[in-house]
Chain A
Amino acid sequence: SSELTQDPAVSVALGQTVRITCQGDSLRSYYASWYQQKPGQAPVLVIYGKNNRPSGIPDRFSGSSSGNTASLTITGAQAEDEADYYCNSRDSSGNHLRVFGGGTKLTVL
């Protein structure tokens, strides 16, 4: 399968820890990358590779992977973390295609 599956919505209390997951066959072979998108804005890369953060991304964002599941963890969620989060990876067909997950809307309570 070339699909990546995410929970549509997740909520977290301010300052608590939340994990957003992404499942798919291709994740057994390839790392996921994670993108944060706020309303009306272009997506922003937050995690790539095994667990790498681009410059300017707070260290409360981290990534991990096990089997067919990739996870994005926010430790100590802040109000500004409320956004849609998308995972992306290569397609498992080996044809150098890419696929996005359906996205997870994170609400910070």
Chain B
Amino acid sequence: QVQLVQSGAEVKKPGASVKVSCKASGYTFTSYAMHWVRQAPGQRLEWMGWINAGNGNTKYSQKFQGRVTITRDTSASTAYMELSSLRSEDTAVYYCAREGYYYDSSGKTDWFDPWGQGTLVTVSS
């Protein structure tokens, strides 16, 4: 079955960087895009960006532009999200999610399924 397994919890100091991994299994990794979403404690889901796992092209939310880098290693079927210049407001659970899609006469329809289990990143001095 399709599964996304993320790396473990991290504790970082303000100003540092964190890199979270998301290992995919059960499907052809390069055929689907991977998205990253975060959720601060008690807050809404927040979309961060995505990577075309086939060609490596990326798109980022304007909020995170310049601080986030999403990459992938096709040989390891793994996507990565690196966030730099961490501050306390970046304390959150970070999720990866595979983009499902289909094409019809209306164009492309897409969604996120499945999701990884989440990685808690705590930023604290």
Contacts and interface: CB of A to CB of B under 8 A. Distances in A.
A and B: partners?
A: yes
Interface stretch (A17-25, A69-77, A93-101): A93-101
Interface residues of A, number: 25
B113 A54 contact: yes
Interface residues of B, number: 24
A97 B59 contact: yes
A103 B44 contact: yes
Interface in B89-123: 95, 97, 100, 102, 109-118
B32 interface: no
A77 B37 CA distance: 28
B59 A49 contact: no
A45 B109 CA distance: 14
A31 interface: yes
Which of A54, A96, A102 has the most chain B CB within a 10 Å cutoff? A96
A98 B77 CA distance: 23
A100 B46 contact: yes
Given A43-B95, A43-B115, A100-B45, 13 more contacts: A33-B111, A35-B112, A37-B45, A42-B116, A45-B100, A45-B113, A45-B114, A48-B111, A49-B102, A86-B45, A88-B112, A100-B37, A100-B44
Interface of B: 35, 37, 44-47, 50, 59, 61-62, 95, 97, 100, 102, 109-118
Interface of A: 30-31, 33, 35, 37, 42-45, 48-50, 54, 86, 88, 90, 95-103
7 contacts: A35-B45, A45-B114, A49-B111, A86-B45, A88-B112, A100-B46, A100-B47
